[in-house]
Amino acid sequence: MPDTQSINSVLNTYGLSGLAGGGGGINVGYWVANILFGIIGWCAFSYGRKEKNYRPVVIGLVLMVYPYFITNTILTFAVGFALTAALYFWRE
């Protein structure tokens, strides 16, 4: 198995320094939250468009867009859970 130094040297070759290990690397939890809440948002948006209901459309759009503005993993999950709960409880 390659070590972190060799992986970083390959990444540096392509201008992607700092992605494998060390400070400022990839945060897996953050990307899991982005993908999870993006899928939930896409489903809510599609459902709202089909049913012509603005509430799921708006919450779905926010669920798909907000991770681009929040970089903290815990805050990303907190906002995503809150919006998903709003999607569930704020229905007709």
DSSP of 12-23, one letter per residue? Answer: HHTT-TT-SSST
Structure tokens at 36: 């999870």
Mean pLDDT of 58-75: 90
Whether the pLDDT of residue 33 is over 70: the answer is yes
Higher pLDDT, 85 or 7: 85
pLDDT digits (tens, 9 = 90+) for 68-91: 888 888 999 999 999 999 999 987
- This prediction has a pTM of 0.69
Whether pLDDT at 8 is above 90: no
Cβ neighbors of 41 (< 8 A, separation 6 or more) are 59, 60, 61, 62, 63, 64, 65, 83
Q: Report the candidate in 32, 6, 30, 35 with the shortest Cα–Cα distance to residue 20.
A: 6
